[in-house]
């Protein structure tokens, strides 16, 4: 296939080209391939956590005896989906083992409305809606109203898996044609004491201002609208108690009548939300909680999301940061380590990163600066990032645009036995992960991710 | 609490609606102002004013950013009632920076895609029309040259659907070299009226345009203390480098403005 050809030509991963070719040759290909998986389709969308949640649902589905068919490399527009389907189909256009196959796709939040009626998912997961790449998506409200119109237009009776704590996601329950599974956090000890700056959904669907009794992140939390009476509804899948630590989280999970303790091998409250979303999706697919919890505990991190490597006697952790809400959560997770930090931060401004780099001013980097022992700023917009830290009160130790030299310098400055935390935007993450993985003796990303 | 006594005095800053009107990181403007003022020896007292809050009796500098349509509609209603006070402040040479949606709402009116007209605060002699479906938003890097001599080259990022047109009493804040500017047609960017500046530049605009930041601080000091205050230029390599990096990006990937009408 074209993917093999581009990979052999050494021109990147070739994760979208077959889709482009197939879409041109057979425009109804999506419909004919998407109707084949016997276990139906799951879509996962939202601003943050798509890749990780999809990764966790795949682990759950596998543990439950299904064969997940996913678009794993974050190729989440139509072309990436078509590529995954085409790659799974034989020369006769049939997907092998179709009976056990579960189509499982992370879908770009703006691309979902066009794809939804063609995929006709059995389960549709909506994670959250934060400001992200406004240069690409336009306003947050337009994404939310696009989802609502898409559901009103109808495409079967999918089970909606919704974040009860995010008012703009929870509001989709009003547009459901099938069952709704809500997930959320019930442990108020993880609520923020200070409101974060990057708060988005401040107005209810009725137009009045949403009030928060407490927030877990951004505008996500215990919300209500006094004008129309809408309020956060009790979720069926929830974390009753959460203990966050530097590298992992312990969560008491309740799913309907079932209860279990999940030892999640990932840091940060946002990772807890991803796990709850995956468990709720498992519930919608009829998977017992114990199966889901065991599968998540055993699943490694998704590509470039809190992935750990060992390079020259130093631990290297890679964090993908692409918007203020995500970066704020990473800052919180980093602070949980409770030790001085060595950080290599990358800011790129490609189309996949967002050409507008102003979002770094919406992230609360002021909270991170007191803990920085060493800071290297890197990437195409290293100078913008250096200025952001300078204004936040921490002048970087060095500013190096290029990936290789920046990584070398940051590694050299990290004491042996220490940890280097790399925080990077999307294209920078791909670049630096490849170099790190090469140092750790790993293969290129499209080979390991497939 | 402060370790150093401000030597040039203290300016009173109003940050208007920053809880709802900072969708494009306009908050960075306040952070940059606080950082720069500390370097220059200027004290800053910030009053945050949101929906329903009273404006303080006096201010030397006012900042307002941009929001989403739904939020801006609510802000617009209130801005009409605040209009007389804001206009009086502008006539009294209070320094102001109104970015994107704030710039639009400080004009006479804004007509949305459905033809509905929102009245503005009427502080700038400008009007804005959202051209409706089929018209692309003006999104991208901007490089422009300010009409204010002490400001010079300005860089930033714009993202607006509305097209803004200047009336006879308004003069442009800058001339676009790369990017769209107010309307993509006449080469103007933003607006200046007395000490008030409206602009579509975010990015945030103040961190990497230090001469503009100093211009606003000076104007605010003049408003407070009357004298012809001059700030001694203080080098900031981080701001200068980020400015040059953004200018380089704008030259590389934003279309060169080729409009013919140059009022």
Q: What is the rounded distance in angstroms from the CA atom of residue A199 to the CA atom of residue A140?
A: 12
- Closest by CA to A71, choosing from A45, A35, A48, A99, is A45
Q: What is the pLDDT of residue A137?
A: 62
Which one, of A140, A164, A148, lies nearest residue A220 by Cα? Answer: A164
pLDDT digits (tens, 9 = 90+) for B97-136: 999 999 999 999 999 878 889 899 999 999 999 887 778 8
B51: chain A residues, CB-CB within 8 Å: 209
Give the best residue of A328, A356, A385, A396 to mutate against chain B (max B CB count within 10 A).
A356
The DSSP letter of residue A449 is: -
Structure tokens at B85: 């006070």
Helix (H) or strand (E) holding A114: helix A112-119
Contacts of B141 (CB under 8 A, 6+ apart): A355, B155, B156, B157, B178, B179, B246, B249, B250, B253, B254
Q: What is the pLDDT of residue B132?
A: 76
Share of chain B above pLDDT 90, in %: 73
Angle at the Cα of A144 from the Cα atoms of A142 and A146, rounded to 5 degrees: 65
Structure tokens at A368: 């991170």
Helix axes B27-40, A382-391, angle to 10 degrees: 60
Q: Facing residues of A212 across strands? A: A223
d(CA A293, CA A235): 18
- In this prediction, residue A373 carries a pLDDT of 97
Radius of gyration of chain A from its Cα atoms, rounded to whole angstroms: 21
Q: How far is the C-alpha of A217 from the C-alpha of A274, rounded, in Å?
A: 13
Instruction: Give the span between the Cα atoms of A186 and A290, in whole angstroms.
Output: 20
Query: What is the interface pTM, i.e. ipTM, of the complex?
Result: 0.94
A135 and B140 within 8 Å at the Cβ level: the answer is yes
- Taking an 8 Å cut-off on Cβ atoms, the answer to whether A357 and B203 are in contact is yes
The SS3 call for residue A24 is helix
- The 10s digit of each residue's pLDDT in B114-123 is 888 989 999 9
Alpha helices per DSSP H over A223-301 = 269-284, 289-298
How would you label B198-219 residue by residue, b for 16+ Cβ within 10 Å and e otherwise? bbbbbbbbbbbbbbbbbbbbbb
| Cα–Cα distances in angstroms (integers) from residue A256 to residues A44, A122, A159, A188, A276, in the given order | 22, 20, 16, 20, 13
Q: Residues B177-213: pLDDT tens digits?
A: 999 999 999 999 999 999 999 999 997 999 999 999 9
CB spacing of B203 vs A135 below 8 angstroms: no
- For B35, nearest residue in chain A (alpha carbons): A391
Q: Cβ contact (<8 Å) for B245 and A383?
A: yes
Question: Got the DSSP string for A389-428?
Answer: HHHTT---SEEE-SHHHHHHHHHHHSPTT-EEEEEE-HHH
- What is the rounded distance in angstroms from the CA atom of residue A189 to the CA atom of residue A317? 27
Q: Which residues of A touch B157 (CB under 8 A)?
A: 135, 355-358
Domain residue spans of chain A: 2-184+259-298, 307-448
CA of B57 vs chain A CAs: smallest distance (Å)? 27
CA–centroid distance for A398 within its chain: 30
Sign for the CA dihedral angle at A136, A361, B239, B184 comes to positive
Yes or no, beta carbons of A197 and B35 under 8 Å apart: no
Phi, psi of B98 (to 5 degrees): -115, 120
Q: Residue B242: which of A389, A375, A325 has the closest Cα?
A: A389
Domain extents in chain B: 10-253
Nearest to A217 by CA among A429, A48, A424, A51: A48
Residue B22: CB partners within 8 Å, gap ≥ 6?
A197, A362, B65, B66, B67
**Cβ–Cβ gap A358/B202 under 8 Å:** yes
Residues 6+ apart with CB under 8 A from A41: A34, A102, A103, A104, A105, A119, A120, A121, A122, A123
Please give chain A's pLDDT, 450 residues, in tens. Answer: 444 544 444 444 556 666 666 656 666 778 888 889 999 999 999 999 999 999 999 999 999 999 999 986 667 788 888 888 888 888 888 888 899 999 999 999 989 999 999 999 999 999 999 877 665 666 677 888 899 999 999 888 999 999 999 998 999 999 999 999 999 999 999 888 766 655 555 678 787 878 888 888 888 999 999 989 999 999 999 999 999 988 899 999 999 999 999 999 999 999 999 999 999 999 999 999 999 999 999 998 888 899 999 998 899 999 999 899 899 999 999 998 888 999 999 999 998 898 999 999 999 999 999 999 999 999 999 999 999 999 999 999 999 999 999 999 999 999 989 999 999 999 999 999 999 998 886 443 334 443
DSSP sequence for A68-105 = EEE-TTS--SHHHHHHHHHHHB-TTSPBTTGGGEEEEE
Of B25, B236, B239, the CB nearest to A358: B25
Tokens 């879509």 identify what position?
Answer: A43
Q: Is the pTM above the cut of 0.90?
A: no
**Pairing of the two strands A67-70 and A101-106:** parallel
Rounded Cα distance between A400 and A257, Å, is 54
Q: To which residue do tokens 């602009």 refer?
A: B199
Tokens describing residue A8: 């052999």
Give the best residue of A131, A133, A138, A139 to mutate against chain B (max B CB count within 10 A).
A139
Q: Collect all residues from A whose CB is shorter than 8 A from any CB in B.
A: 131, 134-135, 138-141, 197, 199, 202-203, 207, 209, 349, 355-362, 381-384, 386-388, 390-392, 395, 399
Question: Which residues on chain A are in Cβ contact (under 8 Å) with B244?
Answer: 383
What is the dotted CATH code of the domain comprising A307-448? 3.90.190.20
Report pLDDT for B2: 44
Which stretches within B96-206 are classed as H helix? Answer: 101-105
CB-nearest partner of A384 from B35, B139, B242 = B242
Mutate to test the interface with B, among A361, A369, A392 (most CBs of B within 10 A): A361
Long-range contacts of A287-290 (CB under 8 A, 24+ apart): A287/A60, A287/A61, A287/A63, A287/A64, A288/A258, A289/A253, A289/A255, A289/A258, A289/A259, A289/A260, A290/A258, A290/A260
CB contact under 8 A, B25 and A391: no
CB A419 within 8 A of CB A316: yes
Predicted local distance difference test score (pLDDT) of residue A134: 64
Least Cα separation, residue B67 to chain A (angstroms): 9
Q: Return the exposure string of A188-226: e unless at least 16 CB atoms fall within 10 Å of the residue's CB, then b.
A: eebbbeeebbbbbbbbbbeeeebebeebbbbbbbbbbbe
The CATH architecture assigned to B10-253 reads: 3-Layer(aba) Sandwich (3.40)
* Contacts B242 to A, Cβ<8 Å: 383-384, 386-387
* DSSP-assigned beta bridge partners for residue A345: A377, A423
Residues of chain B contacting A, Cβ within 8 Å: 19-20, 22-25, 27-28, 31-32, 35, 51, 68-71, 74, 137, 139-141, 157, 159, 202-204, 207-208, 236, 238-239, 241-242, 244-246, 249, 253
In angstroms, the CA A130 to CA A394 distance is 27
B238: nearest CB among A349, A381, A390: A390
Taking each helix axis from N to C end, the angle separating A426-439 and A403-413, rounded to the nearest 10 degrees, works out to: 60
What is the residue whose two structure tokens read 């990017």?
B179
3-state secondary structure A328-388: HHHHHHHHCCCCCEEEEEECCCCCCCCCCCHHHHCCCHHHCHHHEEEEEEECCCHHHHHHH
A61, with CB counted inside 10 A (0-12, 13-18, 19+), is buried
| CATH fold of A2-184+259-298 | 3.40.1190
The CA distances from residue A47 to A38, A107, A267, A359, in Å, are: 29, 10, 19, 14
**Cβ atoms B204, B28 nearer than 8 A:** yes
Residue A357 to residue B159, Cβ atoms within 8 A: no
CA dist., res. A79 & res. A15, Å (int): 8
Pull the structure tokens for residue B123: 């502080």
| Cβ contact, residue pair A384, B32, below 8 Å | no
pLDDT at B5 over 70: no
Catalytic residue positions of B?
A: 100, 202
Rounded Cα gap, residues B231 and A87, in angstroms: 65
Interchain CB distance below 8 Å, A203 and B71: yes
């Amino acid at each position: 296939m074209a993917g093999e050809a581009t990979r052999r030509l050494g021109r990147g991963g070739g994760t979208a080209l077959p889709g482009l070719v197939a879409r041109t040759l057979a425009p109804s290909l999506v419909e004919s391939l998407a109707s084949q998986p016997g276990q139906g389709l799951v879509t996962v969308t939202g601003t943050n956590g798509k890749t990780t949640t999809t990764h966790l649902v795949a682990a759950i589905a596998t543990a439950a005896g299904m064969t997940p068919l996913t678009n794993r490399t974050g190729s989440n527009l139509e072309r990436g989906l078509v590529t995954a389907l085409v790659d799974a189909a034989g020369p006769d256009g049939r997907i092998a083992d179709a009976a056990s196959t579960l189509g499982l796709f992370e879908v770009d939040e703006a691309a979902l409305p066009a794809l939804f009626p063609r995929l006709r998912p059995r389960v549709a997961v909506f994670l959250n809606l934060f400001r992200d790449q406004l240069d690409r998506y336009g306003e947050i409200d337009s994404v939310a109203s696009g989802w609502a119109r898409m559901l009103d237009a109808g495409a079967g009776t999918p089970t909606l898996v919704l974040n009860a704590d995010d008012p703009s996601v929870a509001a989709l329950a009003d547009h459901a044609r099938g069952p709704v599974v809500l997930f959320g956090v019930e442990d108020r000890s993880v609520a923020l004491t200070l409101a974060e700056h990057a708060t988005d959904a401040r107005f209810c669907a009725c137009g009045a201002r949403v009030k928060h009794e407490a927030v877990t992140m951004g505008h996500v939390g215990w919300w209500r609208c006094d004008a129309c009476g809408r309020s956060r509804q009790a979720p069926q899948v929830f974390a009753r108690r959460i203990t966050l630590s530097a590298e992992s989280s312990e969560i008491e999970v309740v799913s309907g009548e079932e209860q279990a303790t999940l030892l999640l091998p990932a840091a940060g409250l946002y990772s807890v939300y991803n796990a709850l979303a995956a468990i709720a999706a498992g519930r919608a697919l009829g998977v017992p909680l114990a199966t889901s919890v065991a599968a998540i505990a055993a699943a490694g991190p998704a590509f470039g999301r809190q992935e750990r490597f060992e390079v020259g006697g130093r631990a290297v952790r890679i964090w993908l940061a692409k918007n203020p809400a995500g970066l704020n959560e990473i800052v919180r997770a980093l602070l949980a380590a409770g030790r001085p930090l060595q950080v290599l931060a990358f800011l790129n401004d490609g189309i996949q990163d967002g050409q507008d780099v102003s979002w770094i001013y919406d992230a609360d980097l002021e909270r991170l600066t007191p803990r920085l022992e060493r800071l290297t700023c890197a990437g195409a917009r290293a100078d913008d990032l250096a200025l952001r830290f300078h204004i936040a009160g921490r002048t970087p130790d060095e500013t190096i645009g290029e990936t290789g030299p920046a990584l070398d310098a940051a590694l050299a400055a990290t004491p042996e036995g220490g940890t280097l935390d790399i925080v990077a935007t999307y294209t920078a993450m791909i670049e630096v992960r490849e170099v790190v993985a090469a140092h750790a003796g790993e293969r290129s990303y499209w080979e390991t991710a497939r | 609490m402060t370790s150093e006594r401000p030597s040039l005095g203290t300016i009173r800053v109003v940050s208007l609606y920053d809880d709802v009107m900072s969708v494009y990181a306009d908050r960075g403007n306040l952070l940059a102002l606080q950082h720069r003022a500390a370097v220059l020896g200027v004290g800053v007292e910030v009053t945050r004013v949101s929906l329903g809050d009273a404006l303080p009796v006096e201010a030397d500098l006012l900042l307002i950013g941009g929001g989403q349509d739904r939020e801006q509609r609510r802000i617009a209603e209130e801005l009409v009632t605040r209009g007389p006070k804001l206009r009086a402040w502008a006539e009294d040479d209070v320094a102001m920076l109104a970015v994107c949606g704030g710039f639009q709402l400080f004009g006479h009116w804004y007509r949305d895609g459905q033809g509905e007209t929102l009245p503005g605060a009427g502080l700038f002699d400008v009007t804005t029309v959202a051209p409706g479906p089929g018209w692309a938003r003006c999104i991208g890097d901007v490089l422009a040259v300010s009409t204010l001599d002490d400001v010079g080259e300005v860089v930033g990022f714009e993202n607006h659907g509305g097209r803004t047109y200047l009336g006879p009493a308004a003069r442009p804040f800058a001339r676009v070299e790369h990017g769209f500017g107010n309307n993509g047609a006449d080469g103007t960017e933003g607006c200046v009226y007395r000490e008030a500046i409206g602009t579509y530049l975010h990015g945030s605009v103040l961190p990497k345009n230090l001469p503009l930041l100093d211009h606003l601080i000076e104007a605010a000091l003049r408003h407070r203390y009357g004298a012809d205050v001059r700030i001694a230029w203080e080098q900031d390599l981080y701001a200068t480098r980020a400015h040059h990096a953004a200018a380089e990006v704008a030259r590389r990937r934003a279309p060169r403005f080729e409009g013919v009408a140059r009022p």
